[in-house]
């Protein structure tokens, strides 16, 4: 019985850590998000907050993986191009 607990708990923690890494944190999405410019950099490079692809001024603020994700991605409302990233405090 004790043996099962000693073996089971680390395995459970390992499974939770893996779940967090792959599903919640999602390294691939995190990397893509990190490649997006900050808003100031986007404005400095393109002259305004308008979409660089189609020129639309309206944007969408979406969470990276979930609606409530603190890692925000700003998309063009018209053509859905990723414009810049923001981080909620
Ligand atoms: Zn656009």
pLDDT, tens digit, 9 for 90 and up, residues 27-70: 888 999 999 999 999 999 999 999 999 999 999 999 999 889 99
The CA distance from 77 to 82, in Å, is: 10
- Residue 89 CA, ligand 1 centroid: distance in Å: 27
pLDDT of residue 85: 97
In the chain, what percentage of residues exceed pLDDT 70? 98
Q: What is the pTM of this model?
A: 0.76
Collect residues with CB below 5 Å from ion ligand 1: 51, 53-54, 56, 76, 78-79, 81
Query: 70: burial class by Cβ within 10 Å (0-12, 13-18, 19+)?
Result: exposed
- Residue 59 CA, ligand 1 centroid: distance in Å: 9
């Amino acid at each position: 019985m004790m043996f099962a607990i000693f073996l089971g708990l680390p395995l459970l923690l390992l499974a939770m850590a893996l779940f967090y890494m792959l599903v919640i944190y999602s390294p691939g999405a995190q990397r893509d998000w990190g490649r997006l410019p900050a808003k100031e950099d986007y404005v400095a490079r393109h002259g305004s907050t308008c979409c660089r692809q189609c020129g639309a001024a309206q944007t969408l603020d979406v969470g990276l993986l979930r609606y409530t994700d603190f890692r925000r991605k700003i998309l063009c409302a018209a053509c859905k191009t990723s414009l810049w990233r923001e981080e909620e405090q």
